[in-house]
Chain A
Amino acid sequence: MKNTLRRGRVTAACLTLLSVSVLSACGSGDDDKKTEAVEKLGKTEGKVSILAWPGYVEDGSNDPNVDWVTPFEKETGCEVTSKVYGTSDEALNLAKSGEYDVIAASGDLSLRLIASDEAQEINTDLVPNYENVYDFLKNTEWNTVDGKNYGVPHGYGANLLMFNKLNFDTPPTSWGAVFDTAQLERNKGKVTAYDSPIYIADAALYLMKHQPELGIENPYALDQEQLDAAVALLKEQRKYVGEYWSDYLKEIQAFETGNSVVGTTWQVIKNNIKNKDVEVVLPEEGATAWNDTWMMSSQAKHPNCAYKWMDYILSPEANAQATEYFGEAPNSPQACEKTTDPKHCETFHAGDEEYAKQLWFWRTPIKDCLDGRTDVECTDYAQWTEAWTEIKG
C-alpha cells in the first residue's frame, strides 16, 4: 500500500514536470519573429494568408459582383487565403498563431501587435502606391512607433447608429437613443451593442458631450472615476439590451427579424440588411471610429506576396472597391476617383481632416493617459476588459 502510494506520488511529480516542460516548450517559439523591415523584395511565394475585418478581402464568394481578390491573384500569382474576425481582441489572438502574413488592424489592435513583437516594420519604398495616400493618415500614432512605420493605411470610418424607423417617431440623431433611459424605455429588450470592451469608449464619448463636468477629453483616456461613470451608464443600458453582437451575421439577422431595432453598427452591415425600414445615421456627438492599417506579421511566411498584397490593396482601383463595399473613406484622392458612386468620398468625408477630427479612432487604452494628462493614472485595457465582464453581469 505504502509502495503504491509512493509510486503514485512519483508519477504525479513526473507528470507535473512533463507538463511544465511541454508548456515552456510551447512558450519559447519567439525565435523566428522578424520585426525589422526588409531591404528588397524577392520572388513571390505563390500564396498569401490574410487576416481582416469582414468585407476587406472579397473574392466573389459572398457576392459575385464584389471581387477584388481574383484580379490580384491573376496579376501576381499569389493565391489568397483569408480569415475574418469580429473584434480586435479576437484578431490579436489569431495573429499570435503566426498563421497570417498580412493583418488589417484597427488602432486598438495595431499598437498591441507592435508591443508584442507580432508586427514587422514596413519598408514603404517597396509599396509604390503608398505615395498617393493622404498625408494625414501617414505616420500616425497608431501605425508608427519611434519613427518606424509598421503599416500602410487602408481606410477609415465611423461606428454608426442603426435603427428601425418604425420604432421611432422621429429618426434619432443622437447616441441618446441607446444611452438615455427615457428613449431606451420604448425599445426595451430590442437594443443591441457591440460586444467588446472597446465599446466602453462609446459610452465615454456620450458622457464627454452630455456630462462635461466629468472632464473627459478623450474617450480612450479615462481615469478610474471617468471609467466608473461610463460603466454605470453601460450597466443602466444593459437593462434594455436584448443582445450584444460581435458576429456581424448575427446582427444582420437580428435587425431583419426585428429582434434588435436600435444599436451601434458598421455601414457594411446596413448594406447587407434587406429590411428597408432599417437606416443608419452618424449622430451629432460624433462617433468612435476605426482607422485601419495593413500590417505585416513578424512571423510572415510569405513576405513577398504580403508586400504585393499591401501594394495592391492601396492601389486606387482595389482601395476604392474595398472601402466602398465596407462603407468607409478610402485612403487616397486617386481612389476617390474610382468609386462607382461618385459621391462616395463626399458621403464619408474622405480626406476631410476637420471631419476626421470629430471621429475618435479606436486606440488601446493604456496607463499613460492618451490625452496627455500626467497628474492621474488612466485605466488600461485589462481594466476595461474586467469592467466589460462586470457590465454584462
Chain B
Amino acid sequence: MSATSAPHDARPGRSTDPALRGPVDRPGSRLLHRMVWLRLSLLLSAPLAWMVLVYVVALAALLITSLWSVDSLSSEIDRSWTLDNFRTLLENEVYRDVTVRTLAVAAAVTVIDVAIALPIAFYMAKVATPRVRRMLVVAVLTPLWASYLVKVFSWRVVLSEGGLAEWSGLGSPGYGLTAVVITQAYIWLPYVILPIFAALERVPDSLLEAAGDLGAPTGMVLRSIVMPLLIPGIVAGAIFSFSLTMGDYITVNIVGGASQMLGNLVFINAGAANNLPLAAAIAMIPIVVMLVLLTAIRRTGALENM
C-alpha cells in the first residue's frame, strides 16, 4: 500500500506539500516532537489508566474485600481483617464439591468444543473453496449476534419436557449438569473455532505438500507438522471455553436444574445473602485456578508462539 502511494505523495510543487509551506507556529506539536517520553506517556496514559483501574484495582479490591466480614442482621460490612472466609471455603466441603463440579463441567465443555472445532476449522482452512470458507466464517460468527439469554432460554425450551429434543426422538437429558454442558458447549463454540481456524490458516500448504512428497503418511503429517503449529490455537480456544464456562452462572441457573456452580455461589452470596466478602473469596477460586493453569501452560511453551 505505502509503496504505491509514496511516489504519488512525493510529487513536487503540490500546494499542500508541507515542506513548501512556511514554518507553522505549533508549539504543542513541537514540544511533543522534542520530548519523546512526554509524547509516549500522553499516548499511553489513557489505556494504562484504564488497565490499572479496571483490571488491577478491581482485582486488588476483590482480594481486600475477601478479607473482610459482614454483620448478619444489618448486613453492614465489617472492615477488620480476617481469614474467616477462606477458612470457610477450606473447611466446608460444599465449596470443594462445587469447585470440583465447576472444573469438571468446564473441562467437559472444553473437550467437546475442541473435538467439534478441530474438523470444522480444518475444513474451513484447508478444504473449502474461498467462497464456502467465507460463508462458513459468517455461519460460525452469526450465533454471536444473538443475545446470550435468548440462546440459553432456547435451550431451556429445546430440552424441556415435550420439547424439540424429545420430539425429534433424540431424547432430552432433562435439566441438569448434562444440559449445562450441552448449552455451554454450544455457546462458546465460536470462540474455539476461530483461533484454531486462524492457526490452521497459517500452516503453509507447501509444508504439507513437501511432507507428502517425502512420503510421510497422514498420521505423521498431522502429528509432526500440523499439530505443533496448531497447539497455540487450540490452547487459546481451550482457555476461552474453559474460563468462560468456569465463570458462568446464568446457564446453570436456567437449564441446570437444582445444581449450582461457583458462579451461583458468588451470585447468591453477593446478590441474595448480601455477604460480599464471602462472594469475593469464592470469586478468588476461578482466578487462582486460571493462574495455576496459565502457569502450567506457559511451562509447556505453548504460549510462546501465540
Contacts and interface: CB of A to CB of B under 8 A. Distances in A.
Interface of A: 15-16, 18-20, 22-24, 27, 87, 89-90, 92-93, 111-112, 115-117, 189, 196-197, 238, 241-244, 246, 250, 253-254, 257-259, 364, 366, 380-383, 385-386, 388-390, 392-393
Contacts of A241: 257-258
A249 B84 CA distance: 37
Nearest to B267: A90
Contacts of A257: 160-163
Given A15-B52, A243-B257, A390-B94, 12 more contacts: A89-B272, A92-B274, A93-B270, A254-B160, A258-B161, A259-B161, A380-B73, A381-B72, A382-B273, A385-B272, A389-B268, A393-B260
A112 B61 contact: no
A372 to B, nearest CB: 18
B254 interface: yes
A197 B72 CA distance: 13
A366 B77 CA distance: 17
B271 A90 contact: yes
Contacts of B160: 253-254, 257, 259
Contacts of B275: 382, 385
A390 B92 CA distance: 9
Contacts of A116: 74-76
Contacts of B175: 242-243, 259
A251 to B, nearest CB: 12
B98 to A, nearest CB: 8
A390 B260 CA distance: 11
B110 interface: no
B74 A112 contact: yes
B104 to A, nearest CB: 14
Contacts of A381: 72-73
Interface of B: 52, 56-57, 60-61, 64-65, 70, 72-77, 79, 88, 92, 94, 97-98, 156, 160-163, 174-175, 254, 256-260, 265, 268-275
B259 to A, nearest CB: 8
Contacts of A111: 73
Contacts of B162: 257-258
A23 B65 contact: yes
A89 B76 contact: no
A89 B64 contact: no
A19 B72 contact: no
Given A19-B61, A258-B161, A250 B254 contact: yes
A27 B77 contact: yes
Contacts of A16: 60, 64
A93 B275 CA distance: 10
Given A89-B272, A189-B174, A259-B160, A19 B57 contact: yes
A19 B55 CA distance: 11
B258 A243 contact: yes
A197 B271 CA distance: 13
13 contacts: A19-B57, A23-B65, A27-B79, A89-B274, A92-B274, A93-B270, A111-B73, A189-B174, A250-B254, A366-B73, A381-B73, A382-B70, A385-B272
A239 B77 CA distance: 35
Nearest to B57: A19
A246 B271 CA distance: 12
Nearest to B163: A257
A259 B76 CA distance: 39
Contacts of B265: 389
Contacts of B256: 243
A382 B75 CA distance: 9
Nearest to A242: B257
Nearest to B70: A382
Contacts of B269: 385
A115 B271 contact: no
B94 A393 contact: yes
A257 B175 CA distance: 12
A364 B73 contact: yes
Contacts of A393: 94, 97-98, 260
Contacts of B70: 382
Nearest to B88: A386
A12 B65 CA distance: 17
Contacts of A380: 72-73
A19 B160 CA distance: 46
Given A241-B258, A242-B257, A15 B156 contact: no
A389 B281 CA distance: 15
Contacts of B64: 16, 19-20, 23
Contacts of B61: 19, 22-23
Given A115-B74, A382-B72, A392-B260, A15 B274 contact: no
Nearest to B172: A259
Nearest to B75: A116
Contacts of A392: 258-260
Contacts of B268: 89, 385, 388-389
Given A89-B271, A250-B254, A112 B75 contact: yes
Contacts of A115: 73-74
A246 to B, nearest CB: 8
Contacts of A93: 270-272, 274
